[in-house]
Amino acid sequence: MSLLQVQNLVVEFPSRHGTLRALDQLSFEIAPGEILGVVGESGAGKSLTGAAIIGLLEPPGRIASGQIWLEGERIDNLPPAQMRRVRGRRIGAIFQDPLTSLNPLYSIGRQLIETITTHLPLTHAQARQRAIELLQETGIPAAQERIDHYPHQFSGGMRQRVVIALALAAEPKLIVADEPTTALDVSIQAQIINLLKSVCKKHGAAVMLITHDMGVIAETCDRVAVMYAGRIAEIGPVRDVIHAAAHPYTQGLMSCIPDIEVERQHLHQIDGAMPRLNAIPSGCAFNPRCPQVLARCHHERPELMPAVTTEAACWLTANAGATPSFEAQP
């Protein structure tokens, strides 16, 4: 049984110009212990998906339809008090900016202990002990002393470690990590990703890793979902999505990335930009930019359907059932 199951999730923003549909019929699953990568252009709806799962959509955003199941229990319609017990306890979260994620007025010890005692039946002393262990585990030297320090006394990388410790404090089964390394230095990124991977493996937690960075996805994830304009364009094992994508968007995206090992005179580029939420074209949302657009792409919307090794929402896969040839990969 999968740990997390998202079914036909629709997230909407009512506004005076009509209701904006930011997530449209989104479905995917995460197995226990699995790392699912979520990639896509800015504004594709990655963060919203994460927020919807942890139940922290900012009003006026709301789940309009669809279901979210955690360990067989439906959580999208839980009352706030119960949802709070799910958050932190069963789903942990990590946000992009470690500096702003921590309350500057409280020591990290206090923030850790507060989180632990909220969820676990521990005394203050026990909670403190556990907090120190967590810090040690996330690689903070001299955790005994540092626990009483304040966030501003830590460097960016250390802070993100603290944030990871906080997310892991109550041993959640799932961690939603929304761009955990984007704000960090290139040289620290790898440290944090490695850490995240190892501690989650140790605690048996599954991770939903949201990022722009295909490189990070490539080396970290088991499976990857590519989002475009509020929908999943393609989802499948990481190797297959990178090397044998079925969806033209995925293919385009992969070839945009300058490769350190291969030198090219000209990068491939996908012309145009992702449509705004209020101007999503009918049919396949990618059709105005798609080099292989078919007639039906303009008015029929493709659902996710099995491609060769992945699932893709593209009529090409339905037609050919095979990877269209589109700028051969070297």
Ligand X SMILES: Nc1ncnc2c1ncn2[C@@H]1O[C@H](COP(=O)(O)OP(=O)(O)OP(=O)(O)O)[C@@H](O)[C@H]1O
Binding residues among 39-58 for ligand X as defined by CB under 6 A: 40, 42-48, 58
* 66 is a site residue for another protein (CB under 8 A): no
Number of chain positions touching ligand X (CB under 6 A): 15
Q: Find the shortest distance in angstroms from Cβ 63 to ligand X.
A: 13
DSSP 165-228: HHHHTT--SEEEEESTTTTS-HHHHHHHHHHHHHHHHHHT-EEEEE-S-HHHHHHH-SEEEEEE
Give least dist CB 176 to ligand X, A. 12
Nearer to another protein, 25 or 206 (CB): 206
CA atoms within 13 A on the CB side of 59: 0
Give the residue with the Cβ less far from another protein, 69 or 150: 150
Backbone angles phi, psi at 130, to 5 degrees: -65, -40
Contacting ligand X within 65-94 (CB under 6 A):
none
Contact partner, 45, from another protein, ligand X, Mg ion, none, Cβ < 5-8 Å per class: ligand X
Residue found by looking up tokens 């199951």 in the block: 5
Binding mask 181-220 for another protein (x = CB under 8 A): ----xxxxxxx--x--x--------------xxxxx-xx-
Size of residue set near another protein by CB under 8 A = 80
Q: What are phi and psi of 231, to 5 degrees?
A: -130, 160
Question: Which of 47/251 has CB closer to Mg ion?
Answer: 47
Q: Taking the complex as a whole, how short is the minimal distance between the CB of residue 208 and another protein, in angstroms?
A: 13
Residue 174 pairs in a beta bridge with: 91, 206
Does 323 bind ligand X (CB under 6 A)? Our answer is no
Task: Pick the closest to residue 45 from 176, 182, 227 (CA basis).
Answer: 227
What's the min distance (Å) between Cβ of 295 and another protein? 25
Report residue 25: phi and psi, to 5°.
55, 55
Measured from the CB atom, the residue of 47 and 181 that comes closer to ligand X is 47
At residue 196's C-alpha, the angle toward residues 192 and 197, to 5°, is 120
CA distance 308 to 289: 23
Place of tokens 């119960």: 82
Q: Is 253 helix (H, G, I), strand (E, B) or coil?
A: helix
**Contacting ligand X within 218-277 (CB under 6 A):** 277
H/E element holding 28?
Answer: strand 18-30
96 close to 180: Cβ distance less than 8 angstroms? yes
Q: Per CB under 6 A, which region of 35-43, 85-93, 139-147, 314-322 contacts ligand X?
A: 35-43
Candidate residues 47, 49, 117, 138; the one interacting with Mg ion per rule CB under 5 A:
47
Closest CA to 329 of 276, 249, 280, 262: 262
Choosing among ligand X, another protein, Mg ion, none, which partner's interface includes residue 275 (Cβ < 5 to 8 Å by kind)? none
Phi first, then psi: give them for residue 95, nearest 5 degrees: -105, 175
Question: Which one of 243, 298, 319, 321 is in contact with another protein (CB under 8 A)?
Answer: 243
Which residues contact Mg ion by CB under 5 A? 47
Which residues contact ligand X by CB under 6 A? 13, 20, 22, 40, 42-48, 58, 61, 212, 277
